[in-house]
Amino acid sequence: MAHDALLSELHSLRDQVTGVMESAVATVDGLLVVADTDGAQPEVVSALAAATLGLGKRTGHEVGMGELREVVIRCRGGYIVVYAVGQVALLAVLADEGLDVTRLHIESRPAVERLGALLTKEHSAN
Q: What is the contact surface with another protein in residues (CB under 8 A)?
A: 1-3, 7, 11, 15, 18-19, 21, 27, 29-38, 41-44, 46-47, 76-77, 88-89, 96-100, 103, 119, 122-123, 125-126
Radius of gyration of the chain (CA): 14
- Residues 26 and 72: their CA atoms lie apart, in Å, by 17
Of 73 and 107, the one with the shorter C-beta distance to another protein is 107
Closest CB 21 distance from another protein, rounded Å: 7
Name the residue among 126, 125, 123, 122 with its Cα closest to residue 4: 122
Name the residue among 60, 111, 63, 121 with its Cα closest to residue 90: 111
- Residues 28 and 33: their CA atoms lie apart, in Å, by 10
Of 67 and 124, the one with the shorter C-beta distance to another protein is 124
Closest CB 11 distance from another protein, rounded Å: 6
Of 40 and 73, the one with the shorter C-beta distance to another protein is 40
